[in-house]
Amino acid sequence: MFKKGNKKLIGAWAFYDWANSVYPLVITTAVFPLFYGAITGGKDAQVHFLGTDWNNTVLYTYTLSVSFLIVAFLSPMLSSIADYLGNKKRFLQFFCYLGSLSVMALYFFDSKEKLWVGITFSILASIGFWGSIVFYNAFLTEVAPPEQHDKVSAKGFIYGYIGSVILLVFILSMIMFPDVYGFIDHPLAEGESAPVKVFQYSFVLVGIWWMGFAQYTFYHLPSNYFKRKPEKDYIFKGFKELKKVFKEIRKQPTIFIFLLSFFLISAGVQTIIVLAGKFGDEELGLPTTNLIVTILLVQLVAIVGAFVFSRISIKIGNIKTLKITIAIWIIVSFAAYLLPGKSPNVDIYFYILGAFLGLVLGATQTLARSTYSKLIPEDTYGNATYFSFYDVTEKVAIVIGTITFGAVMSFTKSMRTSVLVLVIFFFLGLVVLSFMKRTKYVK
């Protein structure tokens, strides 16, 4: 077994980002939201689900909220049991397979009549992805020492951005040149050249990519780093571990303040990420190709952002660097609200906005994960349980963010106003972070 800090072990851990990042890019942000919107009737269309009529976009945001709520409920229980059993890797594998197979099942969502297929497997895929991230993040403290967490965390996100861009470029080529690939099916929507089958096959490709490349990570990650031997009543022991870590967090104000700030920041960041594509589609009326190109730009700039800001944090510290990224998020949100939808140059404005978003996207995600990992007591076997609180904080934040976004949109009929409301989350997160004290590794 490789020792902590081994380059091959770190590389194998980071490679799971390469494997799984195609899900948030292709399914959550770039392709599926546009596909869902077109299949369900376009902007402001009504759909019937669970005996109720819904605005299709509002239903989509609430669907995301449900999936995150389920993960928020399950992950503390599962991670505490995983800590007690010492088998985080098995849980990581389970959620990886649940997510990748569910994504492939979206292939069968090809009409408004099959809305239940799209909703059901969207929820399961989201649970699979975010469930696996709980255990993946928890491995960071086992593969690298604290002084390497910023660089290692950034490495994972950079791998993820590069891998997901490669697959999205291929999918974009299928959308732009369907005839080259032999697709002659009916187009997705009026004014679109890409057939429905192109989008369906892209979902299958995402599932195969995710499951296939994850095998390298699974092969090298340790199975039981702390050599724990569980007793028969491990389920109840798992709950005891959860309770124990919860009490420990309450006694550590620095971790508590960080989690509160992270909660507020994530409510804004993650909501923008999952709904940016639909904003460009419905509010600005941009074609599918332009939207995907913008999202590609976001990913490419995010690579630079993750690298640059991880280096800046070494010089000025994590807290100050995070404050800079939050300030930029506030500016980006205001700019999105002010974007002139009817301007002939709206696509150029959207590209510029996407570049700034990408710059802080990679930085915020990288620094948040590495900062929290530095706050966890060193060599604690409860690292998965500690990270479950981190992930639960993020998931509950997304629930609050997406529900707020959907509720404001339902009331005002405007996605712009919903985006503006997200500024409140960023501002409050910045205020709370200002009360965070420095520690040995977090400056």
Least confident of 84-88, 301-305, 425-429: 84-88
User: Does residue 153 lie within any of the structural domains?
Assistant: yes
Contact yes or no for 96/130 (Cβ under 8 A): no
One-letter amino acid of 47 = V
pLDDT in tens, 176-231: 887 787 776 655 555 444 567 888 889 999 999 999 999 999 988 877 555 555 55
Q: 343 near 353, Cβ under 8 Å? A: no
Strand partners, 49: 52
The region of weakest confidence among 90-94, 149-153, 161-165 is 149-153
Domain-located, residue 121: yes
pLDDT of residue 381: 47
Contact 416, 283 (CB under 8 A): yes
**pTM, two decimal places:** 0.76
* Residue 231 pLDDT: 52
Instruction: Decide if 329 is inside a domain.
Output: yes
* Residue 443 included in any domain: no
Vertex 174, ends 170 and 180: CA angle to 5°?
A: 115
Tokens of 154: 């950034």
Cβ atoms of 385 and 140 closer than 8 Å: no
Within-domain flag for 294: yes
Nearest Cα residue to 290 out of 278, 280, 282, 279: 280
Tally the domains of the chain: 1
**52, β-bridge pairs:** 49
Instruction: Give the mean pLDDT of 16-32.
Output: 88
Of 56-60, 126-130, 170-174, 215-219, least confident by mean pLDDT is 56-60
pLDDT value at 241 more than 70:
no
Residue 416: CATH number of its domain: 1.20.1250.20
Lookup: tokens for 371: 């900062």
Cα–Cα dist 273/126, whole Å: 14
- In this prediction, residue 208 carries a pLDDT of 97
- Residue 222: domain span: 7-433
Residue 2 maps to a domain? no
Q: What pLDDT digit, counting tens, does each position of 316-356 carry?
A: 888 888 899 999 999 988 888 887 766 677 778 888 888 88
